[in-house]
Structure 1
């Protein structure tokens, strides 16, 4: 009788351990707000933010009811936008010039995080996003006009330039985030990724270019109990 009770206890404990250790996986996608910031010679410049997206998959492993780890592979375009205008009037002639630039950086991201489950549904994450820049280019539009002396004229030009050779491949970004999971496996998450890598391959002096981004999205968890 004692042996049967012992076997039952061991089986019960083993079942609890397996239940607590859950492996889940699935797809995720969402909205990303990308921001570029340039610094150098004591000055800083923030580019206009850029709305983009991310898509990929994840694997989550729970050690127990409170702690777990998660790894992901995502694709996400990042970058920023810039617009500069110039106006000057000389001897009754007004010159207007506008330059718009869109920095487009394609990236594969591998976020790895430690997760704390405050409840069965609510989790908080702290981790590192290892980004790999796969492509880099700028799309630009230049517009100029002249008014005065009894007439006016305008001209515009647009094009694209590959800048991959000037951009570093590695883009590291520590992040914090939160996640809420429904009983059916559907979840929502949000993160802030702080870019710490200098994207300029051959900087002059102390100039830097860093990319940070917000992410908010949705996904679905398969597996587990």
Structure 2
């Protein structure tokens, strides 16, 4: 009986120690998203788009230095365009601006290997597997002009669903750093380099890629 109790005690202690290697919790933060289009030897960078992300993470530490981490996040990434318009047609001069907002609703699954330089500071390298669940382009235009002494102005806006024209998978390798306080609160920052062509049926060598920065905060539950 004593031998059985000893074995059971050792087993329970082993489970407790292993449980301390797992940590999990929520995280959320700010994303700065950038679209880059290329084709026919030319490139175009969209204006950066400020957005957010929210989700959860789980971490397993092999030892004091090395760990792996997986996450599930949601983020509406994309990019923006704004162009000035000026032209004259049939004696009428028209000026104004045209804007477009590209929105890709994305479920992100980042998986990373982490190295703890200290007990609190870790550096990570991994792959963010993005799944595009929705894709829309919101466009607007504000035009004004004058003709025969009369002035006029006009504003229009449209929303187009472009999900059928966008690839579902958006892969982005990333590198980042994380700092964790003793109470489990942590802060992290990453740069995700978009490598997937989001255009489903490109003409020639057309590409559209989405890279983004992430700055976040979260809390880790689990053993110390």
Structure 2 residue 213 is matched with structure 1 residue 221: no
- Cα offset for 1:220? 0.3
- Cα offset for 1:98? 2.2
Contact 2:33 2:51 in 1 (8 A): yes
Unaligned runs of 5+ in 2: 1-5
Q: Name the CA shift for 1:51/1:152 in 2 (closer, same or farther; >3 Å).
A: same
- Cα offset for 1:90? 6.2
Give the structure 1 partner of residue 208 of structure 2.
Answer: 209
In the superposition, the TM-score normalised over structure 1's length comes to 0.89
In the superposition, the TM-score normalised over structure 2's length comes to 0.90
Contact 2:28 2:54 in 1 (8 A): yes
Q: Name the CA shift for 1:20/1:65 in 2 (closer, same or farther; >3 Å).
A: farther
SS in 2 for 1:64: coil
SS in 2 for 1:114: strand
Structure 2 Cα separation of the partners of residues 56 and 31 of structure 1 = 12
SS in 1 for 2:197: coil
Structure 2 Cα separation of the partners of residues 197 and 153 of structure 1 = 44
Structure 1 Cα separation of the partners of residues 98 and 64 of structure 2 = 54
- Cα offset for 1:148? 3.8
Give the structure 2 partner of residue 134 of structure 1.
Answer: 133
SS in 2 for 1:165: helix
Structure 2 residue 145 is matched with structure 1 residue 152: no
Cα-to-partner distance string for 1:79-122 (whole Å, 9 max, x where unaligned): 01111122134686421142111111100000000000000000
Structure 2 Cα separation of the partners of residues 201 and 208 of structure 1 = 9
Give the structure 2 partner of residue 3 of structure 1.
Answer: none
> Aligned Cα RMSD in Å?
2.0
Runs of 4+ in 1 over 4 A off after TM superposition: 89-92
After superposition, where does 1:45-84 map in structure 2 within 5 Å? 45-84=44-83
Structure 2 Cα separation of the partners of residues 204 and 224 of structure 1 = 53
SS in 2 for 1:197: coil
Cα-to-partner distance string for 1:29-67 (whole Å, 9 max, x where unaligned): 000000000000110000010000000000000000000
Structure 1 Cα separation of the partners of residues 90 and 170 of structure 2 = 50
Give the structure 2 partner of residue 4 of structure 1.
Answer: none
Structure 1 Cα separation of the partners of residues 154 and 91 of structure 2 = 20
Structure 2 Cα separation of the partners of residues 23 and 52 of structure 1 = 30
Matched pairs, number: 213
Unaligned runs of 5+ in 1: 1-6
Structure 1 Cα separation of the partners of residues 89 and 69 of structure 2 = 62
Structure 1 Cα separation of the partners of residues 147 and 108 of structure 2 = 52
Q: Name the CA shift for 1:114/1:79 in 2 (closer, same or farther; >3 Å).
A: same
Give the structure 2 partner of residue 182 of structure 1.
Answer: 181
Contact 1:26 1:58 in 2 (8 A): yes
Contact 1:20 1:64 in 2 (8 A): no
Give the structure 1 partner of residue 3 of structure 2.
Answer: none
